[in-house]
Structure 1
Amino acid sequence: MTEETHQGMYETDVAVSQYCEAHYGEKYFGVELFPVKCAQICLKAMKGRPMKRALDLGCAVGRSTFELAREFDFVTGLDFSARFVRIAVQLQEKGIIRYELPEEGEIVSYHEARLSDFNLDQTRERVEFFQADAANLEPHFTGYDLIFAGNLLDRLHAPRKFLTSIHERLHEGGLLIITSPYTWLEEFTSRENWIGGFRKAGEPYTTLDGMRELLKEHFRLIAEPRDIEFVIRETKRKFQHTLSQLTVWERMS
């Protein structure tokens, strides 16, 4: 096999490769893989509740979708990035992905991950993946027992619309679980559409404050917010280490 053929088998897009590693690669600095940790929290929170259908919004390359399908009858994973969705579909169909990671300069390393490595082969028939805009979902994405929105909120162009309409997709008594580091940036969300991270009447108004206000008509917060760590590997010696706040909301009647 030539070097050119070898490289052609591997995902080389920087963001795709970073997320492949963050979902299916090594643990760094003792931090659990974020989608795995979040899925475990979701499944624990759902104990004693119906677990027929779940919606994984911002699923990226799919690890949390597969993890939720360990216990849910069926899980739908949606992401705005068609590239991310293609990787998740490839894993579902073929059970394997290959990607390359930058080490330093022009030096890269080659990696592969298989669903069987994580005992997830049995979930392949219980998931589906689509490209979609979480703030403008098609009507048929509804009737869920759990909606997990992972690190999505501060990347939406219309987060207010998302929060004020998401109850329509969820059964009464179902859970909406949101994680976000609240890193609002105007390149993703116009300043007037931020739901927190600014001063209101002279006082700090956090994203949690905004979520409480926008969700209060249809949801109640049922657990203390908690921070979940995640690590994104950029090169062999450069990493992003971030805290994402996780909140659990129950859909009221």
Structure 2
Amino acid sequence: MRLGHFERLRPVCPRCLATRGTAVPLALGFVEEEAGGSVRWGTLVCGDAACAMEYPIVDGVPVLVPDLRGWMAANGHLLTLRADLPAAMEGVLGDGFGPDSAFNATRQHLSSYGWDHYADLDPATPPGQAGSVVRCLEAGLERLGALPPGPVLDLGCGAGRTSFELAERTGGLVVGLDMHWPLLMLARRVMERGEAVFPLRRSGIAYDRQRIEARFAGAERVDFWIGDALFPPFAPHGFALVAAMNVLDCVASPPALLQAVDGAVADGGGALLATPFDWSTQATPVEAWLGGHSQRGDDAGRCEAVLARLLTPGAHPQSVERLHAEGEPLDIPWTVRMHDRARMQYSTHLVTLRA
């Protein structure tokens, strides 16, 4: 955890935020290892004695989620996963675990996200294939225009490319927030070593180790934290820009995500929201899908119509209060690579917003 980010952004206790709606500042607890202005091992502690929740900093990443023990129980095996497996042995283990294992599910995630976030930097990748997330971000920033000075919050940053791009394009501090530990480790390797390393799926459970040089101007202004997009661990109205690229259909409550974005953006600041409305019960209960289940309702199942009302103050019981759309939404092609012979093509819905 970069101390400059901690001091500037002044994170608050996510448990107090989620349970009581209060923004209680976190303080450094003990520091086990610190170097170069960053804490690699240590803790952050809630300043309210009635809570005093202790949040670990693991491998430089603070884990700031409301249900800390639940997240730790679900992800403990990933926090202790070895990072020094040779490529051949990774393949041997993947064969042994089998295609339906958590090990291979993680490799598939790393393959798809790593490829889209960084393969466009590889001269061997044909132009226009990888990099959908960058093209979508560029379109949104161009539409949004000038922003006030201030830090940037990248919700659901995944493998980190958007965070690096935002730092380079805005000149401010950027914090990338995500719940997926392996993807954040990929992003941190880019931040610390200037290289993206990830397994790239050929077919079945056959993967190749991909290593791509990835150096970005402004990478020193980026940090990556574990955090829940529904409860960003920050006091209100602290960010000049909030980006949520293909996150809306990956959370338990899409309206709660919109409220979180609305609350995080500073007055006059902007927000970018992209989603293909690709609903899944693994992430979002059917009842929370925005129109994707209600073809007999007022919006005839049109996700875009429900989102538009949620982003119009007073148009829906759960509408945001401060954000308003700037310009018409855009449809942006977004390619997800599954393996050598499979690509999934989305049309993601991009909305630019101003507070």
TM category, shorter: 0.7 to 0.9
Q: CA deviation at 1:8?
A: 5.6
- RCO greater where, 1 or 2, for CA within 8 Å and sep 6 or more? 1
Question: Would you say how many aligned residue pairs link Structure 1 and Structure 2?
Answer: 244
Q: Which residue of 1 aligns with 2:163?
A: 65
Q: Which residue of 2 aligns with 1:19?
A: 113
Q: Which residue of 1 aligns with 2:329?
A: 225
2:303 is aligned with 1:207:
yes
3-state DSSP of counterpart to 1:216: coil
> 8 Å contact 2:140–2:350 — kept in the other structure?
no
Distance change (3 Å), C-alpha of 1:140 and 1:5: same
Q: Give % identity.
A: 25
| CA deviation profile, 1:172-224 (whole Å, cap 9, x unmatched) | 12111110000122221112222222235455142222222222222221111
Which deviates more, 57-66 or 181-190?
181-190
1:18 corresponds to which letter in structure 2? S
Which deviates more, 216-225 or 55-64?
216-225
TM-score in terms of structure 1 length: 0.86
Q: Which residue of 2 aligns with 1:152?
A: 247
| CA deviation profile, 1:118-140 (whole Å, cap 9, x unmatched) | xx1x3221111111111122234
2:266 is aligned with 1:171:
yes
Larger Rg: 2
2:229 is aligned with 1:130:
no
| CA deviation profile, 1:126-170 (whole Å, cap 9, x unmatched) | 111111111122234751111111100011101111213422111
The match for 1:238 among 342, 347, 354 is 342
2-side partners of 1:165 and 1:111: how far apart? 35
Where in structure 2 are the equivalents of 1:55-94 lying within 5 Å? 55-72=153-170, 73-94=172-193
2:312 corresponds to which letter in structure 1? K
| CA deviation profile, 1:95-130 (whole Å, cap 9, x unmatched) | 1132222223454333212223xxx1x322111111
2:263 corresponds to which letter in structure 1? E
Q: Which residue of 1 aligns with 2:143?
A: 45
> 8 Å contact 2:178–2:228 — kept in the other structure?
yes
Distance change (3 Å), C-alpha of 1:5 and 1:176: closer
1-side partners of 2:244 and 2:201: how far apart? 29
1-side partners of 2:323 and 2:236: how far apart? 19
1-side partners of 2:311 and 2:87: how far apart? 50
1-side partners of 2:280 and 2:204: how far apart? 29
Which deviates more, 35-44 or 242-251?
35-44
Superposition CA RMSD, Å: 2.5
> 8 Å contact 2:119–2:130 — kept in the other structure?
no
The match for 1:5 among 80, 83, 86 is 86
TM-score in terms of structure 2 length: 0.63
Distance change (3 Å), C-alpha of 1:31 and 1:100: closer
Distance change (3 Å), C-alpha of 1:174 and 1:106: closer
2:86 corresponds to which letter in structure 1? T
Distance change (3 Å), C-alpha of 1:99 and 1:240: same
1-side partners of 2:350 and 2:298: how far apart? 26
2-side partners of 1:201 and 1:99: how far apart? 44
